[in-house]
Amino acid sequence: MNIAILSRSEQLYSTKSLLKSAEVQNHDIEIIDPAYCNLMIVNNNAVVQYHDQIIDDLDAIIPRIGASNTYRGASIVRHFEAMGVFSVASSQGIINSRDKWTCFQILAQKGIAMPKTTLGASPYLEAFVKDFGDQPIIIKMLEGTHGQGVILCENFKNAFATAQTLQVAGVKFVMQEFIAEAKGTDIRAFVVDGQVVASIKRQSKNGDFRSNLHQGGSASGIQLSPIEKQLAVATAKALDLQVCGVDILSSKRGPLVLEVNSTPGLEGIQTATGVDVSGKIIAFIEQQKK
């Protein structure tokens, strides 16, 4: 099969891991840097030009689209879809997951359990912040990743001042209840084709509430409960994502979806669990083409 990874660098761990897994299975695989893709419509057909070559021989793509490049990256994926090329992450799924508020709205339509969340931008901001009481509040910028753009506000005064500042600056954000009982931990469930293929428990470093590995958190393999597995799979299905990472918090009222990543990193989960997640993604592509 002819497979392409949409990635800015072949030196990234996830890109190298996917390359190796595809080569082991004797697939022809290449890296396409999205920055050099020229999208065209010629004679009513979608055409992708990479550097000076027309790409017309791919069977599948594996998007590794950064958060700062969501619009263009999703557009490239959509162009390949229009050409009949299979993508492990649909263009709409990428868009659905990247904007946190859009993601939460879609999950709410499907009855997915989440922390209480409020859209931040409003002339009635003070009243909306007061609705959380004087409890700690998490404020999240809509398009942040790796724990960046996430702020823990200890009380109403701090939360309102932070929310006001972001609103004046024109930054889009959501406010979310702080789940204290999670104690700085969450679960990353990696879903491939409607199944959880690997999962880890992430623990924040001392003095931080964010469990993201990019923020110094640690990870260890974990077996999910049936309800946690069901929640992860239902979340991926709701967002039209066949490959994704679903982050889950443990709370007093059960597991809650915290966030969804349409192009999750592979290093942390493969290192902690020993599971060849890259190989499972390649096997998923093979199964689709069969």
pTM for the model? 0.89
According to the CATH classification, is domain 181-275 in 3.30.470.20?
Answer: yes
Q: What pLDDT does residue 219 have?
A: 84
Q: Where are the domains of the chain?
A: 2-95, 117-178, 181-275
> Given 2.60.40.10, 3.30.360.10, 3.40.50.620, 3.40.50.20, which CATH number is that of 2-95?
3.40.50.20
Q: Which CATH class is domain 117-178?
A: alpha beta
Q: What pLDDT does residue 163 have?
A: 93
Burial class (CB in 10 A: 0-12, 13-18, 19+), 124: exposed
Local confidence pLDDT in tens for the 290 residues of the chain: 999 999 988 899 999 999 999 999 999 999 999 999 999 999 999 999 999 999 999 999 999 988 888 999 999 999 999 999 999 999 999 999 988 899 999 999 999 999 999 998 778 899 999 999 889 999 998 876 655 788 999 999 999 999 999 999 999 999 999 998 888 889 999 999 999 999 999 887 665 555 555 555 678 999 999 999 999 999 999 999 999 999 999 999 999 999 999 999 999 999 999 999 999 999 999 998 76
